[in-house]
Amino acid sequence: MSHFYFSFNLGDGTAELSTDEPLEVDAWHSAEIRRNGRLGRMEVDGTAVGEAEAQGQMVRLSITSDIYVGGFPGGGAPFAELAGTVNFTGCVEDLYLGPDPADFGRHTQRIDTKEGCVEEVREGSS
């Protein structure tokens, strides 16, 4: 069992959300994360997890470094105290950044990833 975490920082502190109950591993899950201004919302498997509001006056997220999905290379994650040091193992089927689908085949650096989804995970998705 494992939890799903979402955090964001607009410059004056990190807003954090996580599932209260652990999620079943070896099963497909859906997650929807939205941020509008300082307010972030998370839904997992069709159920609202909650809302978190970032502190400060900023309302825009200005990204000047990489975005990591599922973990952080090298074990030096700046958010390790929140999410721990264990990276995600599994498959990401669809990822959207805003209205646009993220293309994992272009404009990305892959670190310990593989094309497609390993059969063991697919078979566990009944």
Domain ranges of the chain: 5-120
pLDDT at 122: 44
Average pLDDT over residues 113-123: 58
Tokens 């955090």 sit on residue = 7
Alpha-carbon distances of 64 from 33, 43, 59, 61, 67, rounded to whole Å: 20, 27, 16, 10, 9
Return the SS3 of 94: coil
> Is the backbone of residue 66 left (phi > 0), alpha (psi -120 to 50) or beta?
beta
Average pLDDT over residues 45-53: 94
Distance between CA atoms of residues 21 and 13, nearest Å: 25
* pTM to 2 decimal places: 0.69
CB atoms within 10 A of CB 91: 14
Comparing C-alpha atoms, which of 72, 75, 20, 74 is closest to residue 44?
20
User: What is the chain's mean pLDDT, rounded?
Assistant: 76
pLDDT digits (tens, 9 = 90+) for 5-28: 888 888 888 888 999 998 888 888
